[in-house]
Amino acid sequence: MGYYTEYKLEATEWPDELSKYLYQNFYSVDKYGGSVGDCKWYDHEKDMRTLSLQFSDIHFTLYGEGEKSGDIWKKHFLNGKMQLCNATITFEEFDPSKLE
């Protein structure tokens, strides 16, 4: 068992060395940052901090959607530091004029 999450990685720039690094070191995203489907990547924060130190001028955004409903987040990485941004799910207010 384990917890599955789908990941997607974006970067402010994408040098060829970045694709090579991802291909050699990451299994949770492809060499272009695309999703490879649900997987377990428990060390993603550590791995992303290492990546962001290797490419210290690039701002990385890792998106994640876990198997639990509402587990949606993105994490920003720059020069070995991270900021977590959790999603906030809201509903529109009821509007009787929209009834069909």
For 88, the domain range is 5-98
The proportion of the chain whose per-residue pLDDT surpasses 90, expressed as a percent, equals: 97
Region class of 43: left (phi > 0), else alpha (psi between -120 and 50), else beta: alpha
Chain-wide mean pLDDT for the chain? 95
* CATH number where 73 lies: 3.30.70
Overall domain count for the chain: 1
Name the pLDDT band for 11 (thresholds 50, 70, 90). very high
pLDDT of residue 83: 98
Task: Between 2 and 99, name the one with better pLDDT.
Answer: 99
Q: What distance in Å separates the CA atoms of residue 14 and residue 96, rounded to the nearest whole number? A: 48
